[in-house]
């Protein structure tokens, strides 16, 4: 019976009914050395690669299956593995890992950026910060993911950290997508305690008590559709904050985006940290000299910030 089954498989393979599994090759890439806290470290990634088929897609021909941070003696002091699955002559999903020095005013560390394909247009990436705390290099938190990206001073430049004068601390700024525009969320990096966390947790008094709400810087690209419209400008962020003004928006109106208010979402799990903001986002605008707060999709559309993503 075994011989009959083997013969059937060989016969099917010969006539194209069963395709043999592609051969997966394995190799390593290394980056560094990186000088952190008076010591030197290297980052190595284990790569799985498939042979190129008839129509190879470079995004799906190789994937990282493991990443390791090694000290001067070559010992792995951090390791993370990534699952992978082959479909035909390509990986169903691929992972890439990029490593670089993270420089701040009060300390420096190592940043690993993980990228997954396929993903949503503003998703698929996560970031993990490492530094020396208690005499050892370690992860300050799990990988941080968001619908957005890590803010950089310019495209392709190292992610130099910003200095928050009020906190007297280094912060990493993230551009978090709200659905209509980006808000800039600062995360405080504590090199001494070995942690990264929201730089601010803010509260305000609402009609039913204290609610979480922080003010954030805004990055927005206006795309006006033309025509005459109007928005309601509230004196504060809240439906019950007072009587709104009506501001007319013309095609040539001067529209400025000042700041946003929203509740920060910081969700920790075994897989990492999810960073985001609540759906009820308020935006402070200035329209031809009139200032006020808006928050409905109708008003966002009117000022040239339609929902996307």
Assess whether pLDDT exceeds 50 at residue 247.
Answer: yes
307 within a domain of the structure (yes/no): no
- Does residue 18 surpass a pLDDT of 70? no
Query: Which of residues 136, 163, 198 is at a domain's end?
Result: 198
Q: Looking at the 3D structure of the chain, how many domains does it have?
A: 2
Looking at residue 45, its pLDDT comes to 97
Within this chain, do residues 50 and 192 fall inside the same structural domain, yes or no? yes
What residue ranges in 141-272 does DSSP mark as E strands? 144-145, 148-150, 162-164, 169-177, 182-190, 195-198, 203-206, 209-212, 214-219, 229-233, 245-249, 255-262, 264-268
Distance CA 242, CA 219 (A): 27
Residue 149 lies in a domain: yes
Q: What is the pLDDT of residues 123-159, one digit of tens each?
A: 999 999 999 998 899 999 999 999 999 987 655 556 6
Of the listed ranges 59-73, 240-254, 275-289, the least confidently predicted one is: 240-254
Distance, in Å, from the CA atom of 84 to the CA atom of 245, rounded to the nearest integer, reads: 56
User: Among the three residues 165, 182, 198, which one is the final residue of a domain in this structure?
Assistant: 198
Domain span at 231? 203-302
In whole angstroms, what is the distance from residue 24 CA to residue 21 CA? 9
CB 147 within 8 A of CB 131: no
Domain assignment present for residue 309? The answer is no
156 plus 228 within the same structural domain:
no
Pair 132, 188 in one domain: yes
Q: Does the pLDDT at position 8 exceed 70? A: no
Whether residue 39 is found in the same domain as residue 176: yes
Mean pLDDT across 240-267: 90
> What integer pLDDT is reported at residue 309 of this predicted model?
67
Model confidence at 17: pLDDT above 60: no
Query: Do 191 and 278 reside in the same domain of the chain?
Result: no
Report how far residue 231's alpha carbon sits from residue 290's, in angstroms, rounded to the nearest whole number: 11
Residues 61, 88 within the same domain:
yes
Q: How far apart are CA 99 and CA 102, in angstroms?
A: 9
Residues 162 and 19 in one domain: yes
Assess whether 87 and 14 both reside in one domain.
Answer: yes
Taking the chain, what is the end-to-end CA distance rounded to the nearest angstrom?
57
Whether 164 is in a domain gets the answer yes
Say whether pLDDT at 9 is over 80: no
Residues 186 and 239 in one domain: no
- For residues 181 and 211, membership in a common domain is answered with no
When pLDDT is cut at 50, 70 and 90, the band that residue 12 belongs to is: very low
Q: Are residues 192 and 224 in the same domain?
A: no
Is residue 26 located within the same domain as residue 171? yes
Domain boundary among 198, 217, 250: 198
Q: Is residue 194 situated within a structural domain?
A: yes
């Amino acid at each position: 019976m075994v011989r009959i089954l083997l013969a059937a498989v060989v016969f099917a393979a010969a006539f194209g009914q069963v395709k043999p599994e592609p051969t997966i090759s394995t190799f390593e890439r290394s980056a560094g050395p990186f000088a952190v806290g008076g010591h030197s470290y290297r980052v190595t990634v284990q790569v799985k690669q498939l042979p190129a088929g008839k129509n190879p897609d470079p995004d799906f021909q190789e994937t990282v299956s493991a990443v390791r941070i090694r000290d001067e003696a070559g010992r792995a002091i951090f390791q993370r593995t990534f699952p992978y699955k082959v479909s035909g002559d390509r990986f169903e999903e691929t992972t890439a890992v990029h490593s670089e020095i993270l420089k701040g005013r009060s300390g420096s560390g190592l940043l690993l950026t993980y990228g997954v394909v396929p993903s949503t247009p503003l998703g698929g990436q996560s970031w993990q910060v490492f530094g020396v705390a208690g005499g050892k290099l370690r992860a300050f938190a799990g990988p941080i993911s968001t619908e957005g990206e890590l803010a950089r001073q310019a495209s392709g430049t190292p992610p130099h950290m910003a200095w928050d004068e009020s906190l007297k601390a280094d912060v990493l700024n993230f551009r978090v997508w709200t659905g209509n525009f980006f808000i800039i969320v600062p995360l405080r990096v504590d090199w001494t305690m070995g942690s990264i966390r929201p730089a601010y947790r803010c509260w305000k008094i609402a009609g039913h008590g204290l609610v979480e709400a922080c003010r954030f810087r805004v990055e927005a690209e206006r795309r006006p559709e033309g025509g005459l419209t109007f928005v309601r400008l509230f004196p504060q962020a809240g439906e019950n904050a007072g009587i709104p003004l009506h501001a007319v928006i013309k095609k040539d109106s001067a529209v400025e985006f000042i700041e946003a208010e929203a509740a920060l979402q910081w969700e920790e799990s075994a897989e990492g940290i999810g960073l985001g903001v609540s759906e009820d986002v308020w935006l402070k605008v200035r329209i031809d000299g009139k200032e006020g707060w808006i928050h409905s999709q109708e008003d966002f559309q009117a000022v040239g910030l339609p929902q996307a993503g």
